[in-house]
Amino acid sequence: MELSVDPPPEKPAKKPAAKAGPAWLIPGAVAPIERADPYLDIEDYDPEADLMVLNLGPQHPSTHGVFRVKLYLDGEIIVKAVPFAGYLHRGVEKLCEKLAFTQITPIVDKNDYVSPMMNEQAINLAFEALLGAEVPRRARYLRTLVAELQRIGSHLLWLGTFALDLGGALGGGSTVFLHCFRERELILDLFEALTGCRFHYNTHTVGGNRHDIPEGWASLVKQALAVIESRLPEYEELMTDNSIFVKRTRGVGVVDGELCLELGITGPMARAAGVDYDMRRDAPYHAYDEVEVRVQTETAGDCQARTLVRIREISESIRIVRALIDGVPEGPICGHKPIKIVLQERSAGGQAYAALESPRGELGTWVIGGGVNKGTSPYRLKIRPPSLHAAACLPYVLPGHSVSDAIVILGSVDPIMGEVDR
């Protein structure tokens, strides 16, 4: 198999991001702010200052997994932050080179363990592009439905853990957390009715889905959504209308749109900074070209804006599911033959990239066909995790904040370590 490798592009004189940037930015978006040098040589810092090195993580209750940030503290103010990833590295991409296309889905389920459906869909979109598989219209509708339900569940979990970061595991924060989990449970129940599993579903496959919509599922979905919608105001009361919440989040951890474009940050974080970009609208996949997606944006780019965007995205997802649930077309749910043997999908070569809008941003998969076992495995597979790009903002954002703010910022960035390290 031959791979054409392009020579590395010559460095342009000016950053192209600065030119391409404003096209995506909405008017009024937060302007780039002056930041401390993220690559500050700590030796150059004021020698009089008595700096303390604090290892936040990898075992820390608020780093959302095994994430480690090395903080240089002047008093309680962060001077420099160095994030370390890789504590949860499992070699998923390498493992995929040995597995057949049909075997990979349940493996990548565990990458972004807060929204497993998205991982399955992302990887299968890429496989379908590589293998030229056609997905029936019913399956595309079903995928859109579960994607939006998963988005609700994922944002609810984020809201709960963010409240934990703000209010502590033994206080008001845990009240919000458990309320959010109560609602997320409804989503998991819906997935259980659909696939038989509560968390790692293995319901998507090349060319479609494996589990058809069961009888009466639509009314279950509507009931669950009605409950969740009726309880959303509770969260607004506990979180966004709460003066302590506003005090802790407004103006904290500002990530401007230019920085987002430079670091490749997508999803709610970028939208909170005024980057009007959502793959569901701008590069439609599944059935998103048949439904209106109202992209939620904010301009402040701080922790409060990120919260508002995510809470509004929950309502927006509820609206999208309601718009689609009654119009699911009849027909097959899988365009390919049902899986009888694992080696049934083969590719001679070529490559493909496909991406979708996961709750954290652009979740992409790049795959080269023609691997081992006569092309039944990918030759190489690369996952583009949105969390990795989001976490990349930490060295830029953390300096100048206190340790308490660092926890809040880390929570609002919403990195999922399974996805960052793969």
Partner 1 sequence: MPTELLKNPYVHGAVYGVVIVTVLMTITAWSIWFERKFAGRMQSRVGPTLVGPFGLLQPLADAVKLLQKEDIVPASADRALFNLAPPLTVLFALGTAAVIPFSPEVIAADLDVGVLWVLAMGGLTVFPVWIAGWASNNKYALLGGMRSVAQGISYEIPLVLAALVPVTLAGSMSISDIVRYQEKNGWVVGMPPGPGILAFLIFFLASLAEANRIPFDIPEAESELIAGVTTEYTGMKFGLFYLAEYLHTLIVAAVGAALFFGGWAGPFGLGSGLHWMVGKTLLLFFGVFWVRWTFLRFRADQLMSLCWKYLVPAGLVLVMLSAFWVHYKAGTRG
Task: Please report, as ranges, the residues that interact with partner 1 according to CB under 8 A.
Answer: 52, 54, 60-62, 76, 163-175, 178-179, 182, 238, 242, 244-245, 247-248, 402-405, 407
Min separation Cβ 177 and partner 1, Å: 8
Q: Tell how many helices (H) and how many strands (E) occur in the chain.
A: 17, 8
Q: Taking the C-alpha atoms of 395, 397, 403 and 405 in order, what is their torsion angle to the nearest 10 degrees?
A: -150
Give 76 or 93: the residue with its C-beta nearer to partner 1.
76
- With respect to partner 1, which residue has the nearer C-beta, 373 or 404? 404
Cβ at position 51, least distance to partner 1 in Å: 12
State the angle between helix axes of 137-167 and 403-413 in degrees (0 to 180), rounded to the nearest 10. 170
The C-alpha atoms of residue 365 and residue 356 are separated, in whole angstroms, by 9
Pick between residue 57 and residue 274 the one whose CB is nearest to partner 1. 57
Which single residue is written with the structure tokens 């795959």?
Answer: 367
Between vectors from CA 302 to CA 160 and to CA 147, what angle results, nearest 5°? 50
Smallest distance, partner 1 to C-beta of residue 232, A: 16
Give the three-state DSSP class for 75.
Answer: coil
Instruction: Give least dist CB 182 to partner 1, A.
Output: 6
CA angle (333, 337, 341) in 5-degree steps: 125
- Closest contact distance (angstroms) between CB of 305 and partner 1 is 18
Whichever of 174 and 315 has its CB closer to partner 1, that residue is 174
Q: Please, which residue, 171 or 327, has the CB nearer to partner 1?
A: 171
CB of 406 to partner 1, least distance (A): 8
Cα→Cα distances 182→94, 156, 196, 325, Å: 37, 10, 20, 23
Please give the Cα distance from 91 to 383 (Å, whole number): 12
Within 10 angstroms of residue 198's Cβ, the number of other Cβ atoms is 12
* Least distance between partner 1 and beta carbon 158 (Å): 15
The nearer residue to partner 1, 35 or 248, going by C-beta atoms, is 248
Which C-beta is closer to partner 1: that of 176 or that of 383? 176
The structure tokens listed for 108 are 């990548």
Compute the distance between CA of residue 53 and CA of residue 279 in angstroms, rounded to an integer: 40
